[in-house]
Amino acid sequence: MLRPAVLGLLLACAVSLSRAAVILENGMPILWAQTAGQVTDLPIQNGILTPNPWHFLHRMSLYRLMIAATDPFMGSMGTNATDSPIWGLPLQLGWMLTSGRLADPTAATTCGQQTGDTMCLSTQSWWGCVNYFASVLPFLSAAQQGFMGAGAQVQMQAPEGVLDYCTTYADCATNYPDAMTKWDAFFQGLKAAAESPLPVNEKKDSLLGLYWVAQMASTYASAACNSRQSHYSSVEVAFSKSWQNSAEYVAAAHFQSNLDKSALFMTPLPSRILQVGDSAPNIADLSEAENHTLYIFSWISSINSLLGGSLVRMWKSAMCSVATREKGRDMLEQLLLNPEFATSTFLSIISEMTTGC
Q: Could you read off the pLDDT of 141-191 as tens digits, one per residue?
A: 999 999 999 999 999 999 988 989 999 999 999 999 999 999 999 999 999
> Are residues 123 and 215 in contact, defined by beta-carbon separation less than 8 angstroms?
no
Check pLDDT > 50 for residue 213: yes
Predicted local confidence at residue 353, as pLDDT = 74
Taking the C-alpha atoms of residue 121 and residue 135, their distance in angstroms, rounded to an integer, is 13
Predicted confidence (pLDDT) at residue 58 exceeds the cutoff of 90: yes
- 17: burial class by Cβ within 10 Å (0-12, 13-18, 19+)? middle
CA neighbours within 13 Å on the CB side: how many for 71? 14
Res 22 pLDDT > 90: no
The pLDDT tens digits of the residues spanning 25-39 come to 999 999 999 999 999
pTM of the model: 0.92
C-alpha distances (whole Å) from 160 to each of 116, 157, 163 are 18, 9, 8
Can you tell me the distance from the alpha carbon of 239 to that of 228, in angstroms, rounded to the nearest whole number? Answer: 14
In whole angstroms, give the CA distance from residue 133 to residue 178: 12
What is the reported pLDDT for 2?
Answer: 54
Burial status of residue 308 (CB atoms within 10 A of its CB: 0-12, 13-18, 19 or more): exposed
| Alpha carbon 48 to chain centroid, angstroms | 27
Please compute the mean of the pLDDT values over residues 327-350 and round it to a whole number.
83
Distance CA 141, CA 146 (A): 9
Instruction: Please say whether the dihedral angle defined by the alpha carbons of residues 185, 32, 171 and 43, taken in this order, is positive or negative.
Output: positive
CA distance 107 to 44: 32
**Cα 114 → chain centroid:** 24
Instruction: Give the pLDDT confidence score for residue 186 in this predicted structure.
Output: 98
The yes-or-no verdict on residue 11 having pLDDT over 90 is: no
- The whole-number pLDDT of residue 20 equals 64
The answer to whether 29 touches 90, Cβ cutoff 8 Å, is: yes
**CA gyration radius, the chain:** 20
Q: Given this model, what pLDDT does residue 274 score? A: 98
Whole-angstrom Cα distance, residue 256 to residue 249?
13
pLDDT at 59 over 70: yes
